[in-house]
């Protein structure tokens, strides 16, 4: 099967060339919902981070998959999925190797992607956890490990191809941000087969993940009173619903896709389409003002993401998903549907530059005239609050 044509922007805009099935669903979605066509021997699959998020969704899928004989669910707490074997432990514990005895495949999803976690603690958990899981899997005789990073590792740059191929170079910059963790995980994945002969590693790189419980600096972009647009930039928005990501991870767990694999809704949305769908007007700022203000706010500790992350709202980092499409996977959600669900989930929240506001902050900022005042006003509000506490 072929990947979606590169000119397709939206799964719902059939008049623009997007493949579409009945009732607005992407073509082939009904077949994909039946699950992957796997003809190999039944597998024993372990999932870390199985108690919540995409890990919980994948664990439930695998428990019902005919190609899976047994599912080992690993997390720091017991989850609600039934029909699986639960093991409660920290993935950084070397004892995880003992728990992986007899396992064929490990899908490692125990990552801390939280907005409020201390960056050093988060990096220590993400990198050390991945190192431990890879080493433990090799020691236990596991033959495949599946990791999940993000399409952000390609970087958001003005000269990016649209869409990016899976083998495009990773050009993201490493600042004190989550992207640095993901790039280090990518390096661990690249080195693992040489360090552990017989172990193969598959890495999934999703677009902007949306769905229940997902809270990132990119989803908070749509909690702002205005959509910040940097003058001269070319935003292209592509989403990945957590259910589609779980389905893609199932393909990877069964060995139906290998290597570096991108995943997202078919096509992408231009900035004008995003504004039409959301009903949120833009505030266009010069690059020097937007980036300079974002850098100052981050230095002051007032916003969770460095200024470099603003590039992901400025330039394209759309991915093709070619390898998954060739394997028979199809997304069940379009970009419009994913964005619509995101808007429902963030309704009532207010954030500026990734910093969620509440109470007086929200009232004052939303009453300001646009994103410029909001960005600078956020810093002023917090500085005043700190000054009052010191008095």
pLDDT of residue 220: 87
pLDDT surpasses 70 at 101: yes
CA 180 centroid distance within chain: 14
Radius of gyration of the chain (CA): 21
Q: Which two tokens stand for residue 90?
A: 């920290």
pLDDT of residue 223: 86
Query: Does the bond joining 177 to the residue before it have cis omega, within 30 degrees of 0?
Result: no
Q: Taken in order 129, 193, 183, 52, is the CA torsion positive or negative?
A: negative
283-342 pLDDT tens trace: 888 888 877 777 776 676 656 666 678 899 999 999 999 999 999 999 999 999 999 999
| Cβ-based neighbour number of residue 193 at 10 Å | 15
Q: Average model confidence (pLDDT) for the chain?
A: 83
Q: Taken in order 132, 116, 245, 213, is the CA torsion positive or negative?
A: positive
In SS3 terms, 183-249 reads as HHHHHHHHHHHHHCCCCEEEEEEECEEECCCCCCCCCHHHHCCCEEEECCCCCEECEEEHHHHHHHH
- The DSSP secondary structure of 298-314, one letter per residue, reads HHTT-SSS-GGGGGGGT
Question: What are the C-alpha distances in Å from 347 to residues 53, 164, 252?
Answer: 20, 32, 34
Quote the CA–CA distance of 237 and 342 in Å, as a whole number.
13
Helix-helix angle 271-278:335-346, to 10 degrees: 50
Least confident of 23-37, 82-96, 178-192, 352-366: 352-366
pLDDT of residue 178: 87
- The DSSP secondary structure of 33-48, one letter per residue, reads HT-----S--EEEEEE
pLDDT of residue 376: 45
User: Residue 224: which region, alpha, beta or left (left: phi > 0; alpha: psi -120 to 50)?
Assistant: beta
Question: What are the C-alpha distances in Å from 301 to residues 176, 240, 307, 385?
Answer: 12, 29, 12, 14
pLDDT surpasses 70 at 24: no
Question: What are the C-alpha distances in Å from 103 to residues 73, 79, 97, 306, 343?
Answer: 11, 20, 10, 40, 40
- For 180, which DSSP code? H
Q: Is 370 buried (19+), middle (13-18) or exposed (0-12) by CB count in 10 A?
A: middle
pLDDT surpasses 80 at 384: no
* pLDDT bucket at 162, cuts 50 / 70 / 90: very high
- For 115, which DSSP code? S
């Amino acid at each position: 099967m072929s990947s979606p044509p590169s000119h397709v922007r939206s799964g719902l805009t059939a008049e623009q060339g997007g493949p579409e099935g009945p009732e607005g669903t992407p073509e082939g979605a009904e077949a994909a919902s039946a699950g992957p066509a796997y003809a190999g021997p039944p597998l024993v699959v372990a999932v870390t981070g199985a108690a919540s998020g995409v890990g919980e969704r994948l664990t439930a899928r695998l428990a019902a998959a005919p190609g899976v004989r047994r599912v080992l669910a690993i997390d720091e707490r017991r989850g609600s999925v039934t029909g699986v074997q639960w093991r409660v432990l920290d993935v950084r514990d070397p004892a995880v190797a003992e728990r992986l005895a007899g396992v064929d495949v490990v899908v490692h999803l125990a990552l801390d992607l939280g907005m409020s976690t201390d960056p050093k603690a988060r990096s220590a958990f993400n990198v050390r956890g991945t190192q431990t899981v890879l080493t433990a899997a090799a020691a236990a005789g596991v033959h495949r490990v599946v990791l999940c990073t993000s399409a952000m590792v390609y970087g958001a740059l003005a000269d990016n191809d649209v869409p990016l191929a899976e083998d495009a170079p990773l050009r993201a910059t490493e600042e004190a941000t989550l992207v640095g963790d993901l790039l280090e995980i990518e390096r661990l994945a690249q080195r693992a087969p040489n360090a552990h002969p017989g172990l193969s590693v598959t890495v999934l790189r999703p677009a902007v993940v949306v769905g229940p419980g997902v809270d990132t600096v990119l989803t908070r972009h749509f909690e702002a009173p205005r959509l910040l647009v940097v003058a001269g930039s070319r935003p292209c928005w592509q989403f990945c619903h957590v259910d589609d990501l779980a389905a893609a991870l199932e393909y990877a767990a069964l060995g139906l896709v290998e290597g570096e694999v991108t995943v997202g809704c078919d096509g992408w949305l231009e900035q004008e389409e995003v504004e039409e769908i959301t009903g949120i007007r833009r505030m266009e700022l010069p690059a020097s003002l937007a980036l300079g203000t974002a850098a100052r706010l981050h230095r002051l500790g007032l916003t969770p993401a460095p200024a470099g992350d603003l590039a992901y709202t400025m330039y394209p980092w759309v991915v093709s998903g070619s390898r998954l499409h060739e394997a028979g996977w199809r997304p069940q959600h379009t970009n419009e549907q994913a964005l619509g669900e995101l808007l429902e989930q963030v309704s009532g929240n207010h954030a500026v530059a990734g910093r969620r506001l509440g109470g007086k902050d929200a009232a004052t900022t939303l009453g300001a005239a646009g994103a410029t005042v909001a960005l600078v006003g956020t810093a002023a509000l917090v500085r005043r609050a700190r000054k009052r506490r010191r008095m």
